[in-house]
Structure 1
Amino acid sequence: MLFILCIVSLLLSPAFLSPVQNDPLFKHIDDHSHEYIQRLKEWVAIESDSSDPSKRDQVEHMMQVTKDYILKIGGKVEMVELGDQEYSPGVKIPLPSVILAEFGNDKTKPTVCFYGHMDVQPAKKDDGWETDPYVLTEKDSKLFGRGTSDDKGQVLALLHAVESVMKFDLPVNVKLFIEGMEEVGSNGLEKIVEEKKDTFFSNVDYIVVTDTPWLSTKPGITYGARGNCYFFIEVEGARRDLHSGGFGGTVYEAMSDLVYLLGVLADVNGKILIPGIYDDVLPVTEQEKELYKDLIFDLKDMQRDSGVSKFLHSTKGDLLMHRWRFPSVSIHGIEGAFSGSGTKTVIPAKVIGKFSIRQVPKMKPSVVEKQVSNYLESKFAERKSPNKMKVTMVIGAQPWLANMSDPQYLAARNAVRRVFNVEADMIRAGGTIPIAKNFEDVLGKSVMLLGIGGPDDAPHGQNEKISMYNYIEGTKLYASFLQELASI
């Protein structure tokens, strides 16, 4: 018994404490955690909903509050004005300022630029929130409120990390690129990137996006995302809507043509039927397969959360690869069709089907557009319908894939290991992240997504939250990353 007590005492001694417990930087962060939570409470209370023109002043107020805090902790800030937004014909409202900030300007040190946003999704208590969305509420070690995870909490964790590291020594130059219109399309952002590429961004070595979740409770680093080719199929028949009692069985119905065309996009197992669509998909390597083996992901948990009774794929690896790694097609809706409650016996004169193809490297939107158009035109010709059919691609966002051997990825993995004592999950996003591809294309810089959101944070839904664990330990992650990046 004495031997066991001696071993326990030895393991608990300072020499055997984990790096997190024995690190003065991490102790500093822990000692200020109450202050960090209080600041998040103040920021959540600002209703910076960028979709609501009546709250545009709140978005600008949020940008000013962010600027003031950056100045307080020793940063330099430039507020870039974007002018007005034409919200509706004849109605213009001001766009919120964009923050360009920096800490340090040592030419012998690497420079990393972080991107984040201060606007939020709409939220009202009567939408189904259990708490006031603009009052930070702590429950079961979770912090509920709009923006806690997307993206105020993640940006604040980064700012707190920068402030903490500066108490010791800032080993890299840090720049910040923070906007207030991300939730509605990032108006004017691409223009700023282009205009500032030879000034503000000229000495940037790495770019990190702080607006992503983990796959599980295990920290994740995102290195790729699918693109999005969004299409309209318009089928037009008669000059006006017709009554099925008078015309049913006598005309080629536009809706029937459209339903047929939507139905030939993929088979029952989700395989896309468009010829050539898989030709440019990169083959899966053995090294890549290894990345999926240790990912913490439970299909049953996803079923319970989504309410889906059965997925198209039965193993973790297959499902995640088809979620991230392979293209997919999804049908989103039909415009012009009767969709109200009750019955209506109309034959629509014109209908528009909406679908998207999530494409992957090295698929090009221009090639996908041609493949889709050619295929649908050939299938429509087979029907010998006299109706008019037109295919239009309205979005052509490209996929993004980074090199995981870039120094910042190595630094991030080291930081995860240091803070959490685990290997980071290397993950992709099934959705589209246009800003990452834009940074890469315009600036030619290495881009990484290093977020601290949880997999169940509901960033666009009711009861958005971030766990206190992710918020505080995420602050340590960003602080460690800054230090690790200097040593790569």
Structure 2
Amino acid sequence: MLAQCFSSNVCLFNWRADEDKTGRTACSCAVTLICDSVRTCPCETERPTHLTFAIFSLLLHFAMQASPPLDQVFQYIDEHQDDYVQHLKEWIGIQSESSNPTKRDDVIRMMQVVGETIKRLGGTVELTDVGNEELPSGKIIPLPPVVLGKLGKDPNKTTVGIYGHVDVQPARFEDGWSTDPYLLTEKDVTALLSESREGNLYGRGSSDDKGPVLAWLHAIEAFQALKQELPVNLKFIFEGMEESGSKGLDELLKAKNETFFSNIDYIVISDSAWLSKKPALTYGTRGLCYFIIEVQCANQDLHSGLYGGTVHEAMTDLIALLDSLVNSTGYILIPGIDSDVVPLTNEERVLYEAIEFNLEAFKHTIGTTELLHKTKEDVLLHRWRFPSLSIHGIEGAFSGPGAKTVIPAKVTGKFSIRLVPNMDPDKLSNQVMTYLNGVFAARGSPNQMQVALESGSKAWVAHVTDKQYDAGRRAISKVFGVEAELIREGGTIPVARSLQHTTQKSVMMLPIGSPDDRIHSQDEKLSRDNYINGTKLFAAYIAEISQH
């Protein structure tokens, strides 16, 4: 290619001609921007008579082609991956368990660390007070502050809001972890190339959600280290109570909607995982209604030898009530429960046909031989798109080892229903209570029974034709070289709907975790590959969304 650039003894790589000490003309040559193997100007015989605008443009084109700015960012990220792992190790070492009151100081310290990290990037930070929490004992402790950060305020740039959380689920080595859950440990290294290592980073919060939060901050730092201007303005919403219901967050969103959130164009969340090894964009989650049924037959537990056959047993009533909720095919028996479910269109079903999902591998992972549905599409639809009912347990019944011939005086059954658009928790609650009261009345039992809704949240769904999803697709293609899968989550991530509903902004979930990361479980991990390429993905997304 270089040979084609020379004609008439004119050096196309010459920015200027300088006189050396001997009086000869020498070229100050920019060729090394294009080819590191060339160290001298190909044209040293004659001082160029002119450098036309076309030649200058060609030189600039070659230089840009040789090292595009985003490629430089990617290279920087690769070169600093060990630093990023060390940063994650430091964050994992903070035991920020939001559900454990004795760890509240750790959660608050974690929020302070996040704030200081944003400040080092040049951002401004407000550690926003969201009130207190009353414990069952009556003790009052402070809720962790929410970090609201800003970086950039150019009115001509797109403004992106990034949500994440840095609190974690409880973890103890004695619960079955292979390593200390709060000491990031890399193992299972499979690639041993000198410049590339792919291992798994084990530690509580590595995938959910400290790793992704750090990946965003590292992506920003890479632009800055290379003295590249950030192509967007950024705002950060990082909380420390997500694993405990995001207490105080909804009120904060409403209070700040007309100020902090007013000029945000898009909101992106990285608090989920891919369905397979193929990168994905998540555009929907199911909602959740959690119910309890309480049945009481006596004021104390009874000996079955003395009282069995003489009383209406609470456990018998409860089992009958739970059995009336769903049949053996998974069909929910509560009348009218699916009346508000948005009908599935042919266009939507096509999205499921393209998703990579192996039924046999799925069965192997969960340890079963047969599923409720036979095809990939039907399994995914019932996992994400249709409501489901699950029975979780019975409180008050004997469940220990050995035999105990007791008739429990009071038992409490627990079950939940996953909601999809456009199901409403209040309407569903009325349907459930009406149905169960009818079933109980038909039994003719004199026992006391009550049903209560413990918590309820609606489903969230976004428009996959939104410009933000276009940017996400292009970013995934740029980093991973594949088309992004469009998926939903069967679980519930209330903050997605809260952010979309309150701010009326476009919300997208851009995950970097794998389906086998074991979040909330023993041996939670994030692969080094996902961590580093996820950092590149966030950098690419920042570049792509700036084009809108």
* Fold match by TM threshold 0.5: yes
Kept after mapping to 2: 8 A contact 1:272/1:329:
yes
Shift of 1:130: 1.6
- Describe the SS at the equivalent of 1:329: strand
Q: Which amino acid aligns with 1:154?
A: P
Q: Does 1:102 align with 2:150?
A: yes
How far did 1:213 drift?
Answer: 0.8
Give the stretch that moved more between structures: 300-309 or 395-404: 300-309
Distance 2:399 2:175 in 1: 23
Deviations, residues 249-302 of structure 1 (Å, cap 9, x unaligned): 222222111111110111101011111111111111122112112222222222
Aligned residue for 1:170?
230
Pair 1:427–1:18, CA change in 2 (3 A): farther
Indicate conservation of the 8 Å contact 1:21/1:27, yes or no.
no
Post-superposition Cα deviations, 1:8-35, rounded to whole Å, max 9, x if no partner, equal xxxxxx99x9999982221222122222
Are 2:263 and 1:215 equivalent residues in the alignment? no
- 1:316 is aligned with what amino acid? K
> AA paired with 1:430?
G
Map residues 79-478 of structure 1 onto 2, 5 A cutoff. 79-139=127-187, 140=189, 141-166=199-224, 167-478=227-538
Q: Which moved more, 1:415-424 or 1:157-166?
A: 157-166
Equivalent residue number for residue 16 of structure 2: none
Give distance in 2, aligned partners of 1:344 and 1:311: 35
**Alpha-carbon distance in structure 2 between the residues aligned to 1:407 and 1:473:** 23
How many residue pairs get aligned? The number is: 475
Scaled by the length of structure 1, the TM-score of the pair is 0.93
The 3-state SS of whatever aligns with 1:487 is coil
1:337–1:351 contact (8 Å) kept in structure 2: yes
Distance 1:84 1:390 in 2: 31
Which aligned runs of 4 or more in structure 1 are off by greater than 3 angstroms?
A: 17-22
Tell me which amino acid in the other structure corresponds to 1:442: T
1:59-103 CA-to-partner distances (Å, cap 9, x unmatched) read 222222211111111111111123432234242323222110011
- Once the two structures are overlaid, the 10-residue window that deviates more, 254-263 or 129-138, is 129-138
Which position in structure 1 is the counterpart of 2:121?
A: 73
The structural deviation recorded for 1:239 is 3.7
SS of corresponding position for 1:222: strand
Aligned with 1:403: secondary structure?
coil
Q: Equivalent residues in 2 for 1:17-36 (5 A)?
A: 23-36=71-84
| 1:154–1:452 contact (8 Å) kept in structure 2 | yes
Q: In structure 1, how many angstroms separate the alpha carbons of the residues matched to 2:130 and 2:328?
A: 47
What is the match of residue 7 of structure 1? none
Structure 1 residues 130, 476: CA separation in 2 closer, same or farther (over 3 Å shift)?
Answer: same
Contact 1:102-1:174 at 8 Å conserved across structures: yes
Letter of the 2:266 partner, please give it. Answer: Y
- 5+ residue gaps, structure 1, are 1-13
Which protein shows a greater Rg? 2
Residue type of the alignment partner of 2:220: V
Find the aligned partners of 2:513 and 2:170 in 1 and give their Cα distance.
Answer: 19
Tell me: CA distance 1:19–1:359, structure 2 relative to 1, closer, same or farther (3 Å).
farther
What is the identity, as a one-letter code, of the residue corresponding to 2:511? G
Alpha-carbon distance change, 19 to 145 in structure 1, aligned in 2, over 3 angstroms: farther
Q: Distance in 2 between matches of 1:25 and 1:380?
A: 64
* Larger RCO, structures 1/2 (Cα 8 Å, 6+ apart): 1
Distance 1:481 1:18 in 2: 22
Q: Conserved in 2, the CA contact under 8 Å of 1:44 and 1:145?
A: yes
Q: Distance in 2 between matches of 1:294 and 1:401?
A: 19
Following TM superposition, by how much is the alpha carbon of 1:168 offset from its aligned partner in structure 2, in angstroms?
1.6
* Pairwise CA distance, 1:331: 0.5
Of 86-95 and 201-210, more deviation after overlay is shown by 86-95
Task: Give identity over the alignment, percent.
Answer: 54
Q: Distance in 1 between matches of 2:417 and 2:138?
A: 35
Change (3 A) 1:18 1:253: farther
Q: Which moved more, 1:248-257 or 1:325-334?
A: 248-257
Secondary structure of 1:195's aligned partner: helix
